[in-house]
Structure 1
Amino acid sequence: MSDTEITFSSGDVSLHGSLRVPVSIKGPVPAVLLLAGSGPTDRNGDSALLPGPIGTLRHLADVLEDNGFASLRYDKLGSGVTGLGPYDVDDVAGLGFSTFIDAATEAVTVLAGQRGVDAERVYVVGHSEGALIALALAQNDERIKGLALLEPLAVRLLDLLTAQIDAQLDAVVAAKQLPVQIADELRLALTGAVESLRADGTLPGDLPEPLRNAGLVPANAKALAEEDDLDPRMLAAQIRGGMPVLTSVSAKDIQVRIEDVDALDSALVHTALTSLRMSRTNHVLKDVGDQQSTGADYVADLPYSDEFTDGFVAWLKSL
């Protein structure tokens, strides 16, 4: 497995990534752009916020190479070698979610132009938030011939964030670790924050600390508002008819709900859809067996899920 270091530009940012083209196959090969999930997640799927490697995107690159596909994955802005590029931390507030979509658009161009790549067979595989970017890319780009949406963000961002925080508050109240009154105050503040983001793209600076810790801070307001404005189901409904699409979700995924991905599938009914449903796989595609995922298992030394890999490979072979 040999990666070639590659650099390309999007706006003022130089993005650093890894290109892999199978050398054992003669002639141009199909190719996949791999898109990472949210936060400072690098080309391998490793997050600066977690204490160890995860490797989800590197694993996908391995599977793709084994099945005759080239791939490109890169350190998005804020991660890996790319870092913040020319920006200071204070500049981040001026950058919206479109920054990440623009970078992915450039990456498609770079991948399609590589020697040994069949420019007529370019696909995009997005993990978690990366699936939303994949859906956005496919709206107007005829070069993209198929999508895989892995453990995807399947509802509007702020709706998902609200559901996650509500569930966390329910849990700590039930455990008698937080008074009901405080939980209700946090829910009220959260509702106000969502309304403010959707009305004018701003956030008050005095939100309660638990909400600020969840990323609801003024520096993130523009990106949050722009991302929330992208409704995955509306984007899915506009994908070209007949396009090969794979969705995957697991009962062990603590970040994505099966019912939300089912609803996304309903919006994709006009595509050539493959729905992969799993029972032992966590959010980062590792096999947790009969155990419950807690998030700590993301960096645990666990095998990648065969139930995912087998389904993914079957989809690749159908293309």
Structure 2
Amino acid sequence: MRVWLPIIMLVFLITAGCSEGNQTSKGSDKVGGDNIEGEWSGSIQVPDQPLNITVKFRNEESLEGSISIPAQNIEDYPLSQVSLNGKELAFQMSISGQSLRFIGAVEKDSISGTFTQSGKNFNFELEKQKSSSSNASKENFMTIETITGTLYGSLLLPEKDSRQPVALIIPGSGPTDRNGNSPGIQGKNNSLKLLAEELADRGVASVRYDKRGAGKNAQAVTKEGDIRFDQFVDDAKQWIDKLNQDKRFSEVIVIGHSQGSLVGMIAAEPESTDAFVSIAGAGRTFDQLLENQLAESLPDDLYQESLKILDKLRGGENVQEVSDPLMSVFKPSIQPFLQSWMAYDPAEQMKEMDIPTLIVNGTNDLQVPEKEAQILANANPEAELLLIEDMNHVLKKAPADREGNLKTYGDPDLSLAEELVPGIMEFLQQHGVK
């Protein structure tokens, strides 16, 4: 089984340009900032398959821009050093120590040129779009300020004027976006987006946010070696505080999915949170789950090596020599993060929960089996347990077989399991959250 880790998966981002600062120069060819404003879509011709991108330019006091890379879950990442000199356009973006750049020529409604990363060049082409009709442009966003930059959260409000409860929806592991999608999965499931929409239909507002390094929060990325689990908890606490200060909301609910369940358990406190919902949350420590998953997916020699690495990580040691097939899991630079994650026992955290709590799991979850939900429920007899027949990890009804189950991970048109949101609403109403 593939293990999804909160590692920043930034293969192709954008930085470029050959001039200092943002500036615009209009030449005699009449190509200027006004002409380039708007949305441009196209692709970088990388090996194997094109990498689709969308670039937006705006001309305010200077020429500015942003880029979205759907395959990398990057949305509206700010560009720097944007310059237009005659027909020559250049722009760049710096992230996680990478240096990437575009230099191209503008010809009416098209831009073509060269994208450069780590000394390698690839052709790119963009075409100007007549109008932007993306759903993202219609979203309303709230923000919080952190030491590494602004974090954005998508706010969805029910169609009513009175004060209403609001749910903070915390995504799972890896560079997961606010909609529940990850770049390692072909297609989108939009599980968390669908959850937010169904809650809004029932009178509950929500804020859902991209993980650092994904979506609109790609710019707030932390260096891989500096990532710690507590950073995710601090982000969630700051969002909870923000929602409590907003007079539009009557109660604050925390909903954590997968890894977000543990984050939410730690962040939700009686003085700030009225109810907590764990969806597909593990009951055992991360290293125990990982050990089981690797046993299912690795040949014996690599599995034995992984056990030795896990033992050393548990003892506080880092391992520098890691076989290539295990680098995606045990890369030395992410080992401190893994250790910080292992330090938290979900069952112990659940035992300490002192607010109304609902534990939800699907019976066909390949990543977090229903026995994990039972561990959490046993840890806190006051918590309520909801097991949904045939629901999988992305909250859709799915067959038990692996191939059929995984097909639902890339199907945004597939509805959520029909018992999920009614079950959450019944729990909230029983505990006075309306």
- Post-superposition Cα deviations, 1:230-280, rounded to whole Å, max 9, x if no partner, equal 00001111111xx211111122100012222211101111x2x22111222
- Which residue of structure 2 aligns with residue 108 of structure 1? 240
**Is 1:197 matched up with 2:313?**
yes
Preserved CA contact (<8 Å) 2:256 2:279: yes
Residues 265 and 5 from structure 1, CA distance in 2 versus in 1: closer, same or farther, beyond 3 angstroms?
A: same
**Is 1:18 matched up with 2:154?**
yes
- Which residue of structure 2 aligns with residue 209 of structure 1? 324
Preserved CA contact (<8 Å) 1:21 1:116: no
TM-score by length of 2: 0.64
Measure, in 1, the Cα distance between the counterparts of 2:401 and 2:367. Answer: 16
Measure, in 2, the Cα distance between the counterparts of 1:199 and 1:148. Answer: 32
- Which residue of structure 2 aligns with residue 44 of structure 1? 179
Q: Could you say what secondary structure the match of 1:196 adopts?
A: helix
Q: Could you say what secondary structure the match of 1:163 adopts?
A: helix
Preserved CA contact (<8 Å) 1:130 1:152: yes
Amino acid at match of 1:302: L
Q: Give 1:11 deviation, angstroms.
A: 2.3
Please say which of residues 275-284 and 286-295 is displaced more in the overlay: 286-295
**Is 1:136 matched up with 2:266?**
yes
- Which residue of structure 2 aligns with residue 296 of structure 1? 407
Please say which of residues 123-132 and 50-59 is displaced more in the overlay: 50-59
Measure, in 1, the Cα distance between the counterparts of 2:221 and 2:346. Answer: 31
Preserved CA contact (<8 Å) 2:258 2:280: yes
Q: Could you say what secondary structure the match of 2:278 adopts?
A: strand
Q: Could you say what secondary structure the match of 2:330 adopts?
A: coil
Residues 222 and 123 from structure 1, CA distance in 2 versus in 1: closer, same or farther, beyond 3 angstroms?
A: same
Residues 188 and 291 from structure 1, CA distance in 2 versus in 1: closer, same or farther, beyond 3 angstroms?
A: closer
Amino acid at match of 1:211: L
- 1:53-92 paired onto structure 2 within 5 Å: 53-85=188-220, 87=222, 91-92=223-224
Q: Give 1:201 deviation, angstroms.
A: 5.2
Q: Could you say what secondary structure the match of 2:274 adopts?
A: strand
Segments of 5+ residues of structure 1 without an aligned counterpart are: 170-182
Measure, in 2, the Cα distance between the counterparts of 1:159 and 1:278. Answer: 24
Segments of 5+ residues of structure 2 without an aligned counterpart are: 1-134
- Which residue of structure 2 aligns with residue 178 of structure 1? none
Measure, in 2, the Cα distance between the counterparts of 1:160 and 1:291. Answer: 20
TM-score by length of 1: 0.86
- Which residue of structure 2 aligns with residue 223 of structure 1? 337
Higher relative contact order (CA 8 A, sep 6+): 1
Q: Could you say what secondary structure the match of 1:81 adopts?
A: coil
- Which residue of structure 2 aligns with residue 173 of structure 1? none
Measure, in 1, the Cα distance between the counterparts of 2:267 and 2:187. Answer: 30
Measure, in 1, the Cα distance between the counterparts of 2:308 and 2:232. Answer: 27
Residues 201 and 276 from structure 1, CA distance in 2 versus in 1: closer, same or farther, beyond 3 angstroms?
A: farther
Amino acid at match of 1:207: V
Which of 144, 148, 172 is the equivalent residue of 2:277?
Answer: 148
Amino acid at match of 1:216: F
Residues 40 and 247 from structure 1, CA distance in 2 versus in 1: closer, same or farther, beyond 3 angstroms?
A: same
Which of 292, 299, 302 is the equivalent residue of 1:186?
Answer: 302
- Which residue of structure 1 aligns with residue 126 of structure 2? none
Q: Give 1:16 deviation, angstroms.
A: 1.3
Measure, in 2, the Cα distance between the counterparts of 1:86 and 1:151. Answer: 25
Measure, in 1, the Cα distance between the counterparts of 2:302 and 2:198. Answer: 43
Residues 318 and 36 from structure 1, CA distance in 2 versus in 1: closer, same or farther, beyond 3 angstroms?
A: same
Structure showing greater radius of gyration is 2
Residues 201 and 303 from structure 1, CA distance in 2 versus in 1: closer, same or farther, beyond 3 angstroms?
A: farther
- Which residue of structure 1 aligns with residue 229 of structure 2? 97
Measure, in 1, the Cα distance between the counterparts of 2:219 and 2:317. Answer: 23
Q: Could you say what secondary structure the match of 1:136 adopts?
A: helix
Measure, in 2, the Cα distance between the counterparts of 1:189 and 1:291. Answer: 29
Q: Percent identity?
A: 27
Q: Give 1:53 deviation, angstroms.
A: 1.6
Residues 221 and 126 from structure 1, CA distance in 2 versus in 1: closer, same or farther, beyond 3 angstroms?
A: same
Measure, in 2, the Cα distance between the counterparts of 1:14 and 1:123. Answer: 23
Relative to total residues, which structure has the larger helix share, 1 or 2? Answer: 1
Preserved CA contact (<8 Å) 1:201 1:221: no
Q: Could you say what secondary structure the match of 1:200 adopts?
A: coil
Preserved CA contact (<8 Å) 2:281 2:372: no
- Which residue of structure 1 aligns with residue 140 of structure 2? 4
**Is 1:123 matched up with 2:253?**
yes
- Which residue of structure 2 aligns with residue 279 of structure 1? 389
Q: Could you say what secondary structure the match of 2:327 adopts?
A: helix
Measure, in 1, the Cα distance between the counterparts of 2:280 and 2:171. Answer: 11
Residues 86 and 128 from structure 1, CA distance in 2 versus in 1: closer, same or farther, beyond 3 angstroms?
A: closer
Q: Give 1:3 deviation, angstroms.
A: 4.0
Q: Could you say what secondary structure the match of 1:144 adopts?
A: coil
Q: Give 1:20 deviation, angstroms.
A: 2.1
Q: Give 1:316 deviation, angstroms.
A: 2.9
- Which residue of structure 1 aligns with residue 425 of structure 2? 313
Preserved CA contact (<8 Å) 1:126 1:150: yes
